[in-house]
Structure 1
Amino acid sequence: MQNNPAVIIEGTTVVFGDRLERASVRIEDGRITGIDGARDGADVVNGRGHLLGPAFVDIHGDAFERQVMPRPGTMLPVAAALLETDRQLAANGIATAYHALTLSWEPGLRSVETGYAIVRALDTLTPRLTVDNRVQLRWETFCFEAVDLIREALAGPRLPSIAFNDHTSMVMLHPSIPLQERPFDLDPAFPIVDPETPSFTEKMAERAKRAKIPVADMVALVRSMWERRPQVPDAIEEVAALGKAAGAPMLSHDDSQIETRDFFRQRGARICEFPMNRRVARAARDAGDFIVFGAPNATRGGSHLASIGAADMIREGLCDILASDYYYPAMLLGLARLKADGVAPLHALWPLVSGNPAQASGLADRGIIEIGKRADLVLVDWPEGGTPAVRRTWVGGREAYRAAPAGELVMA
């Protein structure tokens, strides 16, 4: 990590692990080196009227896809898209981001080919990026072609996470079964739709548009992938073994049955990402797993899929982590909504977007304001009763973002 000049942020209200308190925070050489200490020649940032918290750790964010493909079927250069995404992350106080990179049999945006391009572009762009950009290998379990990419990414300089996804079974699910209650995906009696029906063809239209192929070709592709189902368990075992060997954090996605959560926990996935009903969330809690919900869910006051609400899960002790999901500003806005709704005090809510995702991801050096920790910090303008806005973001002690509003003097 590069050495940076010593900086003291003064006069701000600091989000500590157990309280909010007015304090000064000193950072140098990428670390927090003092709380309420002497200036000793450090540069001073006037934080009066602002809130200083640990910068956000985003365990799952796929908003970057809108930079790669801003319109369905319209792909833009990957490097430019990632540079723009990096700026958005810093501007939203996110110092560590796991990009939810879908590795699918689907052509186009979520293809293995695009996955290789993004992983390798991040390797090349790292010296130019302002935040810690990593990937969540959001692996579709029917996509055997992605295993070599997973192996390559696990050997890279920034350890990724692995999320086990099965949207293939979701696509094939019989419409009489609610998605939130679908059986264990590997159940031999899994109830499937007739792919010959017009309704199935209609369902595939949006997916075909994203992949830039005719709808009939998408229907045929889905049917051919479903024929792979007998080989899926062995592929899961292989990827889980790769993740374990690398020490990668592993997640299972959209679990609808306790059996599903148990299956992936037994293979090393100790993070339950977006459980689809309370009984799965409770089983995950009883087993000591981390539980993730979407920050947009918290911001909006409910799930866009009519699933369970993040605020309710937090109240019930069934949510440890909020992820940006599809909207980076939701990391901060979700905190604001939860605070306004009286779900918990702000200092108790903040770990949902900082310390807890860092711990779940094996990043013990960040996520909390404490001497010796990495200086990943966010300075927030948060007027009483108003909408909060990020003013500065530091990543490893380096200023990654600064914004001065028109009606305010620039802070030193």
Structure 2
Amino acid sequence: MATVTATNTLIIGGGIVGATLALKLAQQQQQVTLIDARPKLSEAQWQDKLAQRDARVFALSIASIELLKQVGAWQLISQSGRKADYTQMQVWQQDGKGELKFGDEELPQLLGSMVEPFVIEHALYQRMQHESVAPYLTVISGHKVTELDWFGAQQGYQVRLDSGDTYRAKLLIGADGRGSMVRQQASIQLDTLDYKQIAICCAINTEQPHQATARQLMLPTGTLALLPLADITDDDKAHPQHWQSVVWSLPSNRALELLDLVKEGDVETLRYELAAASQYALGDIKQIESIASFPLTAQQAKHYVKDNLVLIGDAAHGVHPLAGQGLNLGMLDVSALVEVLMTDYQRSGGRSWGELATLRQYERNRRPHNSVMMHSFSIMNGLFAGDFAALRPVQQIRSEGMYRVGKIKPLMRFFTQKASGL
């Protein structure tokens, strides 16, 4: 028989952003229910997934790492050894002078860490079982939301699952990704950009070590990122720092040509083309694994909030992967939302939770910042890839600009600080 369960906060979407928010609120002793459409994994299933190298990797900023520390997940990630810290970042272009180098070679300091998605998720779901948060946090796995109904500002939302069970909450949070059902059901429209590019992702083993450096080459066809990966096998650890995650942005037709060859069993052409495109920055590519792809688009919800409802992470915004900031923006959403919710809750003596005025504070904090980031990445992509970027005057201005900026140390330190999310 279907049941109706009441809770203060209902989060739909159990990915990294949704799970981090659930933990953060539970730490504040707020009753939270997290609904994840994916089935619950046993520890053995987690270990099977973690035994595989994932070509996808998140470039976690210092601010994101700090948030993961606060919820107790970073400690588990560190213990697992499945992270690749980076202390330098190098950005250069194929057809011009000048390069940008972030980080101090003489006194290396952590700029961020590359971590595979499943490693982060495993740590978060382990933390959900801790006695300090378990009494406040309920996780519903393996069930999808079928209905959303709003019953007014005083009562909030009622949510029905495919199991027939129903949940009521004063505050509904959509953390359910770019195709957010919560956003669609709330009739919140999107601003979208289609770059007409496809990103090819893979894991590669290079002839030379990456030396804790994240690299990004700006090509006329799009960006090529080489991001350090953790060493997971005994052979990796005997020859450390040779595995990297690749995100190669290409015009859609060219990307599809290469992907079709891979489907036909010809991986060598991709390996050769990728090594050549990277200008052999780390020598030849010895191995290539886990080839995948995704179309490149950007989007921004026209509104992040409505009565009793708020969007976070990819449900609210999605950016070009050019600077690897997508997840970091979502983690900043989490910190900002928790701060405004708890500030008003404490000021009201525990009577106010998720009021529209509170949610609008979050929107004013995050939406302009995310919008600037989205359009900045779009402009940067346009300056290096496409017909406009191929114009000779644009090439000259771009080349001179990179050269001059790279010489101004205070400006480079400012950019480094912004990238850290602090």
Greater share of strand:
2
Q: Same fold (TM over 0.5)?
A: no
TM range (shorter): under 0.3
TM-score (norm 2): 0.21
TM-score (norm 1): 0.21
